[in-house]
C-alpha cells in the first residue's frame, strides 16, 4: 500500500469516528493525524463533501460534519414532537374503542331485587351508604332506605 493510500484511509477512519460527530476544522484533522500532507487532507475532505458523506458548514465553509450527525432545526423538532404526541393520542383513542367500558351500577328505588343477588349497597335518606349489605337483613324501602344497587 502506498503512503498516500494509507493516509487517505486514516483520514476516512477519523471522519467515521465518534469525534467527527461535532463540527470540525481541517486543522483538527491535520493536528490529530500528523504527520500528514495538508493538500491530501484538503483533497479527501472535498471528495467526501462531493460524495455526500460529510458536509461543509459555517460562514467560511471551513467546518465539516458527518451527514448522519445532522442537527434538526426548530421546525423539524416541532414536527417530531407533534408526531410523538399524535402516536400517543392514537393509542388513547384505540384503547377507548377496543376496551369494554365498565358497567355502571345505578341506584334503584323501585325495581325488585333479583333473586340471585346476595349482597347490595343501600343508600339511606340521610345520605349514608352501607356497602355489601346482606339481602336478608335489608330494611324495608321507604322509611329510612332511599335506594339500593347490586354490590360489586
Higher pLDDT, 115 or 143: 115
Please name the residue that has the C-alpha cell 486514516. 10
The answer to whether residue 99 is domain-embedded is: no
Last residue of a domain, one of 49, 69, 89: 69
Count of domains forming the chain: 2
Last residue of a domain, one of 23, 47, 69: 69
d(CA 108, CA 113): 9
The answer to whether residue 98 is domain-embedded is: no
Three cell numbers written together for 94: 384505540
The average confidence (pLDDT) of the chain is 78
What's the pLDDT tens digit per position in 48-80? 888 877 877 766 666 677 665 555 567 777 787
Output the domain CATH number for residue 33.
1.10.10.10
Q: Is 11 within 8 Å of 30 (Cβ atoms)?
A: no
Range(s) of the domain holding residue 62? 3-69
The answer to whether residue 87 is domain-embedded is: no
The answer to whether residue 89 is domain-embedded is: no
pLDDT tier for residue 20 given thresholds of 50, 70 and 90: low
What's the confidence (pLDDT) of residue 102?
66
For residue 8, give the H/E element and its range. Answer: helix 3-15
Last residue of a domain, one of 69, 95, 113: 69
Q: Are residues 58 and 7 in the same domain?
A: yes
pLDDT for 1 beyond 60: no
What's the confidence (pLDDT) of residue 142?
62
Q: Are residues 52 and 108 in the same domain?
A: no
What's the confidence (pLDDT) of residue 77?
73
The answer to whether residue 81 is domain-embedded is: no
Q: Is 41 within 8 Å of 30 (Cβ atoms)?
A: yes
Determine which of 24-28, 50-54, 63-67, 118-122 has the lowest per-residue pLDDT on average: 63-67
The answer to whether residue 94 is domain-embedded is: no
The answer to whether residue 140 is domain-embedded is: yes
Amino acid at each position: 500500500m502506498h503512503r498516500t493510500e494509507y493516509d487517505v484511509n486514516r483520514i476516512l477512519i477519523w471522519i467515521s469516528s465518534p469525534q467527527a460527530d461535532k463540527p470540525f476544522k481541517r486543522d483538527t484533522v491535520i493536528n490529530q493525524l500528523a504527520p500528514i500532507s495538508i493538500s491530501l487532507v484538503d483533497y479527501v475532505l472535498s471528495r467526501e463533501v462531493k460524495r455526500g458523506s460529510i458536509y461543509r458548514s459555517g460562514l467560511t465553509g471551513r467546518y465539516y460534519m458527518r451527514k448522519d450527525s445532522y442537527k434538526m432545526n426548530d421546525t423539524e423538532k416541532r414536527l417530531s414532537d407533534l408526531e410523538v404526541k399524535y402516536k400517543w393520542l392514537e393509542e388513547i383513542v384505540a384503547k377507548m374503542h377496543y376496551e369494554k367500558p365498565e358497567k355502571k351500577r345505578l341506584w334503584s328505588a323501585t325495581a325488585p331485587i333479583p333473586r340471585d343477588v346476595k349482597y347490595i349497597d343501600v343508600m339511606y335518606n340521610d345520605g349514608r351508604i352501607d356497602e355489601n349489605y346482606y339481602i336478608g337483613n335489608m330494611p324495608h324501602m321507604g322509611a329510612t332506605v332511599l335506594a339500593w344497587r347490586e354490590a360489586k
